Amino acid sequence: MRLELLLSPLLAPECSARLWSSAWGQSGVRPGSLWAWSSQYGEEMAALAVAAGLDETQLRQHLQDGQCPDRAVLEMLADLNCFPYVTPAARAMAEV
């Protein structure tokens, strides 16, 4: 899937397959919602949303409210979801 190709480099490779499986399956994320999230908030934030385990309802809520997601919260959730691996999308802020 094109979304996976676009965002996977921003995910921890050790967790990528599991994160995508969870996003499409258990979390019920629809490709259109993730594309909209990526368009509105950027690719890094979309990758963090996948790594953090946000579900379809959470993605749609942010999109409908127009609220910018809290990057620090997404990074924390991504770190917990991918432990002991680091999500590359989270590294950009850690290096600043």
Report how many domains make up the chain: 1
Containing domain of residue 66, as a range?
2-94
**8 Å CB contact between 52 and 29:** no
Q: What residues have CB less than 8 Å from 48, skipping those under 6 apart?
A: 10, 71, 74, 75, 78, 87, 89, 90
Q: What is the pTM of this model?
A: 0.87
Give residue 91's pLDDT band: very low, low, confident or very high (50, 70, 90): low
Please state, in angstroms and rounded to a whole number, the distance separating the CA atoms of residues 37 and 19.
Answer: 17
* Mean pLDDT score, 45-74: 93
> Residue holding tokens 């899937």?
1
Alpha-carbon distance 46 to 19, whole Å? 12
